[in-house]
Structure 1
Amino acid sequence: MRIGVDGRVLVDRYHGIGRVTFELLSILVDDPQLEFVIFVDPGEPAHRFDVSSLRRPNVRFVDFPVPLPSPVQFARWPLVLRREPVDLMLFPYQLGACPVGGPRQLTIVHDCLFEQNQTYAPTHRVAALHRRLTGLLLRRAAVVVPSRATAADVERFYGVRVPADHVVEWGVSPRFAAAPTDPTARPPVTGPYLLHVGARRPHKRVPFLVRVLARLDPSMQLALVGSADDRWPDHTMKVAAELGVADRVHDLSEVTDTELLTLYRHAHAFAYPSVTEGFGLPLLEAMAAGAPVVASDVPVFREIGADAAEFAPLRDAGRWAAAIERVGDPAHRARLVERGAALAREATWTRAAGQLGALLRGVPAGGDT
């Protein structure tokens, strides 16, 4: 079976989607019964993932120099797929998919973020394209979602039910739970700190986390891993200056994988104040690494975090501060860490790739779900 993959997400600007695609492909390409054609855009910076590690005798890379989500791609996909015919196309991001013609399709819908609030999209044009394209794809392609919360949102916004076996929960790499290679390594932050991992985009509400920090003991620091996104204004440091805590906020946007692990392991808590996510990979990474988690009390985090996290109301900074302080209780902290580690052990990429592989083989002609 020959599977085409839109690999244009394996670039620096697609953090979560790129990570999911890379981890799944790293396992799927080892299936000798599957042949892969991975379409990539050679003009995009691609240093985040070791794409060359995906090379196998059953894997070919084909240049597709059309940026995502340019409307040009809708005319170019049929042309390139005539030159490189495949049995099925896997689109890891629906904004890259081809809404008409072509082979069978399996498309991943990670979330309905833009449907919930258009200001979370970089432009109104992207929001409109996202809504229209997602609606078309849900009626012609088989769809995978990473959580029951996203499945519920797809039904709420589009009236389409996602079958239970098309909910494929993502995994966490074993390296997050592995023993540290250097037990003496220490984070680049002095004193207790909260850790946030993720690009600073509006729905992640990093400025809110600064407001929470201002309510905590002055010794508490905030470590931010993940850069600002220049498509939106970033008010994080402005809010920090207004509240007099700028010296307690540490921008660690460029860290290595080893440094990230050290940050997770030594954090007072991993704090995740997002309005919503499709899944929330950093939540599982933190649990695997042994960090207690404090997250927004929203459906997707309740689903993924279960009883292994502290949850706080979206807009109540006082209750967030109280939840973070509770994590300081040694017995409570130990319970959260133990439950989080157990949950993370069950969330493997091998399991996710096995489920996705079964769906790839079973997508019916015409892509109907």
Structure 2
Amino acid sequence: MSAAAASGAPVRLAFDCRYTRIGRHDGISRYTAGVVTELAKRDDVDVTMVISDERQLALLPDLPWHKVSGPTSVREPLVALQVNRLKPDVVVSPMQTMGTTGRRYRLALTVHDLIYYANPEPPHDLPGFVRVLWRLYHKAWWPQRMLLNRADAVVTVSQTTRELIARHDLTKRPVVVARNAADLPGPAAASEAADAAEARAGARSIMYMGSFMPYKNVETLVRAVAELPGYTLHLLSRAGDDVEQRLRAIDPDARLEFHDGVSDNDYHALLQRATALVSASLDEGFGIPLVEAMGFGTPVVVSDIPVFREIGGEAALYAPARDAAAFAHTIRGLEDAGEWRRRSIASRAQAETFSWAASARAIAELVTGLSGRSAPR
């Protein structure tokens, strides 16, 4: 038993915050900030953030921090030797690739999704040598098993991914679900949305928030909006000229508006005027934009994949991922103000089932359990 567990003192937890983005969150960055912020409010853990760039602190809570080498550094296999100086009881990383050689603490690694086994193209913003390693890594399951079995436990963000981990026998370690969430607006925003059902149902404005990677299947959304006269598809994330030209070439009748990135305030303002948020993704580990939209009382129309069923529940509307006509038909159903209002109210209720506090609680319970075991040799 660790000293912390024996004394009843808070568990010394080091949280790997090195995946926090500079300037603006992505999914893993937002997950890190959301969970760490809530862990800091708890009495059973004493949190220190592990960062690799002091600029990351702008998007993180005001907590003790320690700087080490970056996660894509050649020093990563030995990063545990740097983290050991903090003398943590447990370290939690929001990724599964954290180096473990020489560690003197319990470790929980995180799997957000298994998307890239079926969709092997790596994110374009990674360094070239990392992209090569990425492709090699996802050609077989054994590297994932090797990484995960180095840890004492595994965290994942959805029950869907937990089931996939079990199906592919990726680890013998316990797997805990600590779900993604979103910072929801107050209930007044959702109430105002429901009251504006007539205007919102007639807005004929649909939003897409996400990347343009092939598995995101944005092409289906473009074809769907081409079948919806008077509708505009707002593409909110940054898209290069090549992406814009490719999507516009799909159908000249599709009304597309490329925003090339939006601030959180602009994003929320657009959601509050939209008929729906849409996604035709073929695969996901979660889907934070769904929770964000539902939190504002904005209905979501999404591909019928297991993780979206888990997130959207009975509130969301579903269509086959590659069926543009089915997407168009489903979106058109929201033109009925009564149906729009029912979906809006159900969406807010569904969004409230996700919270960073609940995710932090699941991680704190895991960390407390790990700290009560003997330290790794």
Question: Is the TM-score greater than 0.5?
Answer: yes
Q: 1:146 to 1:178 in 2, by over 3 A?
A: farther
Partner amino acid, structure 1, of 2:33 = F
Q: 1:147-184 deviations in whole A, cap 9, x for unaligned?
A: 121012112334447757x122222213275539x99x
Give the SS at the match of 1:301. Answer: helix
Tell me how far apart the structure 1 counterparts of residues 83 and 215 of structure 2 sit (CA, whole Å): 36
Alignment check: 8 A CA contact 1:151 1:161 kept:
no
Structure-to-structure mapping, 1:75-154, within 5 angstroms? 75=78, 77-95=79-97, 97-102=98-103, 103-119=105-121, 123-129=131-137, 133-141=143-151, 142-154=153-165
The amino acid across from 2:299 in the alignment is P
Residue 307 of structure 1: how far off its partner (Å): 0.8
Are positions 1:5 and 2:15 aligned together?
Answer: yes
What code does the residue aligned with 1:61 have? W
CA distance in 1, matches of 2:374, 2:333: 53
1:245 CA drift (Å): 4.3
- Following superposition, the deviation at residue 60 of structure 1 comes to 1.9
CA distance, structure 2, for counterparts of residue 86 and residue 241 of structure 1: 54
| Alignment check: 8 A CA contact 2:218 2:280 kept | yes
Alignment of 1:59-70 (within 5 A): 59-66=63-70, 68-70=71-73
Q: Which residue in 1 is equivalent to 2:128? A: none
Pairing partner for 1:273 from 261, 268, 280: 280
Give the structure 2 partner of residue 362 of structure 1: 369
Between the aligned partners of 2:96 and 2:357, the Cα distance in structure 1 is 23
Question: Structure 2: which 5+ runs fail to align?
Answer: 1-10, 125-130, 194-201
Distance 1:149 1:236, change over 3 A: farther
CA distance in 2, matches of 1:25, 1:65: 20
Shift of residue 129 of structure 1?
Answer: 3.6
1:229-308 paired onto structure 2 within 5 Å: 235-245=243-253, 248-308=255-315
Q: Which residue of structure 1 aligns with residue 221 of structure 2? A: 209
Please state how far the C-alpha of 1:198 moved relative to its aligned partner: 1.7
Secondary structure of the 1:172 match is coil
Structure 1 CA distance for aligned equivalents of residues 362 and 187 of structure 2: 23
8 Å CA contact retained: 1:176, 1:285: no
Give distance in 2, aligned partners of 1:134 and 1:125: 13
Match of 2:127 in 1: none
Deviations 1:248-307 (A, max 9, x none): 222223322222111111111100111111111111111111111101100101111111
1:295-342 deviation line (CA, Å, top 9, x unaligned) = 110010111111111111011111111111112222222221121111
What is the letter of the counterpart of residue 110 of structure 2?
I
Count matched residues: 345
Shift in Å at residue 115 of structure 1? 1.7
**8 Å Cα contact 1:3-1:37 kept in structure 2:** yes
What SS is found at the alignment partner of 2:335?
A: coil
Structure 2 letter corresponding to 1:152? E
Measure how far apart 1:112 and its partner are: 0.4
Contact 2:144 2:170 in 1 (8 A): no
Give the structure-1-normalised TM-score.
0.84
User: Are residues 334 and 240 of structure 1, via their aligned partners in 2, closer, same or farther at CA, if it must alter by over 3 Å?
Assistant: same
The residue identity in structure 1 corresponding to 2:226 is A
Q: 4+ residue stretches of structure 1 with deviation over 4 A?
A: 130-133, 161-164
Aligned alpha-carbon RMSD (Å) = 2.8
The structure 1 residue matched to 2:33, chosen from 22, 30, 41, is 22
Cα distance in 1 between the residues matched to 2:226 and 2:110: 39
- 1:63-106 deviations in whole A, cap 9, x for unaligned? 2232x33443112x1320233321111101113x1244412111
Task: Give the counterpart letter for 1:202 in structure 2.
Answer: P
Distance 1:153 1:127, change over 3 A: farther
Alignment gaps of 5+ in structure 1:
184-189
Shift of 1:135: 1.6
Assess, with a 3 A threshold, how the Cα gap between structure 1 residues 129 and 64 changes in structure 2: closer, same or farther: farther
